[in-house]
Structure 1
């Protein structure tokens, strides 16, 4: 009797699907290039349609972004937005639901989200130090948070973004 083994596959076995979800990421004042690189890697992995960078966020080409992104910045559409308020208003006029990933007095547990199948969404993430600014919260349709069970009230911006995007996409399916 032969045993079937569970064998780890390498990158050669991966076949990209090229599927894109109607989900964009708006990243404002993400100062650390490695966090921006992680956002590109996350966006590529989850089929995000576009990353909008603004404020002090660095943009490709940048060696630290490239190293952390593992070159996924070549495959993810992005732009740098000089007028982020105009961008968010424009996305809203195109039918996007604007979500902020931030703990607020009105934020909702991200696990409680539900969306229409393939609803267009823009997720706002803010600075590693100060979070999402009040002006962006005011433009948001809803603020969502990830429940924190430990002593800390926050986590790395890229880690939080991964969790949020996973939950949003699960809700879109």
Structure 2
């Protein structure tokens, strides 16, 4: 029996051997109103080594039972900060040489697979509302806008799903 599903304890034993992401990544989640999506962002952040999540606007914050349930309690150890003004955070991150990347399909967005970044480039991925996407103000502050090419008839996907795809693309 060489190919077996690993138990959680098997995964924990391999933690020391895990490779860290080649890039420092944070998330800015602005106006994401569904607690389960926020919980998914925490779970994705834990799985893919996100350094910090900034929560702003109408985004619900821990403690929240729906966030906790979906995150599988990762909100307890993924660093996060509730912020009043996402513009100020973006400006601060830019001063720290962090590249601000909005995840949105726009007239100027680049397909995710075509992004060419320096290996050690610090990145903050900006995520927007489930209904209206990344606000125009945050788009204008972003250095790059990227999108995930859609192969079907719909032009978007769930924000947490898109985040997982984008972060995986940025870390691999």
Q: Where on the TM-score scale, by shorter chain, does this alignment land: which range?
A: over 0.9
Distance 1:119 1:24 in 2: 12
Aligned pair partner of 1:153 in 134, 152, 155: 155
- 1:6 alignment partner in structure 2: 3
User: Does the residue aligned with 2:124 lie in a helix, a strand or coil?
Assistant: strand
Gaps in structure 2 of 5+ consecutive residues: none
> Which of 25, 28, 33 is residue 26 of structure 1 equivalent to?
28
Structure 1 residue 19: Cα displacement: 3.5
CA deviations over 1:29-71 (Å, ceiling 9, x no partner): 0100000000000000000000000000000000000000000
TM-aligned CA deviation for residue 18 of structure 1: 8.5
Distance of aligned partners of 1:40 and 1:117 in 2 relative to their CA distance in 1, 3 Å threshold: same
Q: Which residue does 1:113 correspond to in 2? A: 115
- CA distance in 2 between counterparts of 1:22 and 1:150 reads 32
5+ residue gaps, structure 1: none
- Of stretches 47-56 and 12-21 in structure 1, the one that deviates more from structure 2 is 12-21
1:83 aligned onto 2:80: no
Give yes or no for contact 1:28–1:126 (8 Å, CA) kept in 2.
Answer: yes
Contact persistence 1:100–1:140 (CA under 8 A):
yes
Count of residues in Structure 1 that have an aligned counterpart in Structure 2? 167
Asked if the contact 1:18–1:47 (Cα under 8 Å) also holds between the matched residues in 2, the reply is: no
- 1:128 has 2:130 as partner: yes
Structure 1 residue 114, shift from structure 2 partner = 1.8
**Residue 68 (structure 1) aligns with:** 70
TM-score by length of 1: 0.93
Using structure 2 for the length normalisation, give the TM-score: 0.94
Which structure has the larger Rg over C-alpha atoms?
1
